[in-house]
């Protein structure tokens, strides 16, 4: 399952920016749920996964329904109309939207928002880090749909 997942993720990466707003927001919900599940099942994966590092096979640590949702949205990415340019936040707009999402994280997890800082020590706090990342994506998903979708597309430009 992981080989299929990795192959699809790699192939779909360039097409995700063409997802319609509803599907783009679903990627935020999927990320929220993945990090929440990993907090309980394999928290040491969250930091490299969120920051683009190597993290190995996550499929044993995620539920089958969640993996199915991810596969469904990847399928949508391959079906997306690439002739339609979708709104993508960049520059100052992206920074402002990330700041709003982080305000939501602060509201939900308090001082654990600091775990998202690049210099934060995560030793013994990996599960809290996962929950903070899950809260970030929950905050994104709670934004108005068009803003959340544009933010998710913008986040992909940072990778």
* CA dist 104 → 9, 67, 112, 137 (Å): 28, 26, 12, 10
Q: What share of the chain is helix, strand, coil (3-state, %, to 5)?
A: 75, 0, 25
Grade residue 139 by pLDDT with cuts at 50, 70 and 90. Answer: very high
Which pLDDT tens digit goes with each residue over 29-65? 999 999 999 999 999 999 999 998 888 889 999 999 9
Q: What was the pLDDT predicted at 29?
A: 98
Tell me: pLDDT of 1 over 60.
no
Residue 15: per-residue pLDDT:
86
pLDDT value of residue 120 = 94
Q: Looking at the predicted structure, is the pLDDT value of residue 10 above 80? A: no
The 3-state DSSP class for residue 44 equals: helix
pLDDT by residue (tens digit) across 78-128? 999 999 999 999 999 999 999 999 999 999 999 999 999 989 999 999 999
Which tops the pLDDT comparison, 159 or 18? 18
How large is the C-alpha radius of gyration of the chain? 15
Q: What is the DSSP code (8-state) at residue 87? A: P
pLDDT of residue 4 exceeding 80, the answer is no
Nearest to 116 by CA among 100, 88, 135: 135
């Amino acid at each position: 399952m992981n080989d299929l997942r990795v192959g699809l993720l790699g192939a779909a990466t360039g097409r995700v920016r063409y997802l319609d707003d509803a599907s783009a927001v679903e990627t935020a919900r999927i990320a929220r749920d993945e990090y929440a599940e990993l907090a309980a099942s394999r928290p040491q994966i969250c930091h490299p996964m969120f920051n683009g590092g190597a993290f190995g096979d996550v499929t044993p640590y995620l539920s089958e329904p969640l993996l199915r949702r991810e596969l469904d949205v990847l399928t949508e990415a391959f079906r997306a109309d690439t002739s339609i340019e979708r709104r993508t936040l960049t520059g100052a707009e992206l920074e402002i939207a990330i700041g709003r999402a982080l305000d939501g994280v602060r509201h939900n997890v308090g001082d654990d928002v600091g775990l998202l800082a690049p210099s934060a020590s995560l030793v013994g706090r990996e599960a809290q880090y996962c929950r903070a990342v899950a809260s970030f994506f929950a905050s994104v998903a709670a934004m108005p749909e068009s803003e959340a979708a544009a933010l998710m597309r913008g986040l992909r430009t940072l990778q």
